[in-house]
C-alpha cells in the first residue's frame, strides 16, 4: 500500500472574487453617519516626503466634501466634516461580500484540487477522516 501524503481541507473566499467595493453609506460607517474631524499640524513632517502643510493644501482644495475649518491657538487646524460624507483613509475603503459559494479546496502534498460542490468536498473530507481512523486504530 502506498503511503498517502498530507491532506488538508479548506474553504477559500478571496477578496478579488468574493467581495466588492462598498461605500461608507452602504456599510453605515460611523464617520459617515456621525461626521468626523481631521486634525492637521501644518509643521508636521509626515515622513513620506509630505508635510502637514501639504495635507492642509489638499484638504482646502478638496471640493468633493464640505467642511468647516478651525485654526486653534497652537496653530493646529481642524477640519470638521458633517454627517453624510465619505471619510478618508484605507479604513474607509469598505467591501461587502458577494453572494457566491466559497472555493472548496483539498490539498495533497501541496497540490491543490478544487471541488465543484460543497457536498463533494464534505464527502471527500469524511472519507479521509474514515481512512485516518482506520490507520490509527
Report the first-to-last Cα separation within the chain, whole angstroms: 17
Is pLDDT above 80 for 4? no
**Edge-to-edge strand list for the sheet holding 68-71:** 36-40, 77-81, 68-71
pTM of the model: 0.65
- pLDDT tens by residue, 27-82: 999 999 999 999 999 999 988 889 999 999 999 999 999 999 999 999 999 999 99
Annotated domain spans of the chain: 7-20+98-136, 23-94
Burial class (CB in 10 A: 0-12, 13-18, 19+), 11: exposed
Mean pLDDT for the chain?
91
Amino acid at each position: 500500500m502506498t503511503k498517502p501524503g498530507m491532506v488538508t481541507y479548506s474553504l477559500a473566499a478571496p477578496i478579488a472574487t468574493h467581495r466588492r467595493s462598498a461605500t461608507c453609506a452602504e456599510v453605515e460607517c460611523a464617520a459617515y453617519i456621525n461626521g468626523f474631524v481631521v486634525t492637521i499640524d501644518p509643521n508636521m513632517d509626515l515622513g513620506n516626503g509630505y508635510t502637514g502643510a501639504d495635507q492642509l493644501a489638499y484638504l482646502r482644495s478638496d471640493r468633493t466634501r464640505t467642511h468647516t475649518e478651525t485654526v486653534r491657538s497652537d496653530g493646529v487646524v481642524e477640519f470638521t466634516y458633517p454627517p453624510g460624507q465619505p471619510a478618508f483613509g484605507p479604513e474607509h475603503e469598505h467591501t461587502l461580500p458577494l453572494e457566491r459559494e466559497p472555493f472548496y479546496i483539498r490539498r495533497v502534498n501541496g497540490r491543490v484540487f478544487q471541488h465543484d460542490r460543497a457536498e463533494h468536498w464534505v464527502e471527500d473530507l469524511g472519507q479521509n477522516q474514515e481512512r485516518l481512523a482506520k490507520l490509527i486504530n
